[in-house]
Amino acid sequence: MDKAELDRQFSDLYRAHLRDVYSYSYYRVGNHHDAEDLTEQTFLQAYRHFERALSESDGRPLRPWLIRIAHNLAANLYRDRSRKPQTHIDDDSQLRTLHTTEDLVEGRDELARVLEGVSRLPDDRREALIMRFALGMDNREIARAMGRTDGATKVLIHRAIKQLETIVQTPDPAGT
């Protein structure tokens, strides 16, 4: 089969199954941005292996093959994210819920306590938390940036979080 015919058949496959692959990806990952990325990655990978898939399919539909590719890519995404945990900042599900004015005031007060608590941390702990949660750096990147080992960085971040939790949960003696 020549390249032009292969490309035409792949275009037909793309048009026929784009919605299915996107829908599967969306329900699997739960947000449009990641679903679009997974859909694009699915079709890129499918294109690379399309000729072989056609010859091995014996005329059977290729939709299950596409969904399997999407499934494997989504599993890889979850595995990668479990190695590099996402922060609450990345979680927009909380932003979609409706809040009462009282909830918003409580949230602002809590945020102010957290930010004030971060400012009270020792420099190295404060910097590590900023790199981790504001910049989204993983432990290895932080270790390199701070000139520490990966293990020492993991301990530093753990201790910083514990110290920040203590600061935030302890009432301010000045009453502010």
Spatial CA neighbour of 168 closest among 117, 130, 125: 117
Radius of gyration, alpha carbons of the chain: 24
Q: In order of start, what are the domains of the chain with their CATH numbers?
A: 3-83 (1.10.1740), 100-169 (1.10.10.10)
Q: Are 52 and 2 in contact (CB under 8 A)?
A: no
Model pLDDT for residues 113-164, shown as the tens digit of each residue: 777 888 888 878 877 886 677 656 688 877 877 778 999 999 999 999 999 9
Distance, in Å, from the CA atom of 121 to the CA atom of 18, rounded to the nearest integer, reads 50
pLDDT at 136: 67
Task: Say which residues have a Cβ less than 8 Å from residue 24's Cβ, sequence separation at least 6.
Answer: 67, 70, 71
Q: Are 127 and 119 in contact (CB under 8 A)?
A: no
Model pLDDT for residues 15-69, shown as the tens digit of each residue: 999 988 888 788 778 788 998 999 999 999 999 999 999 999 888 888 878 888 8
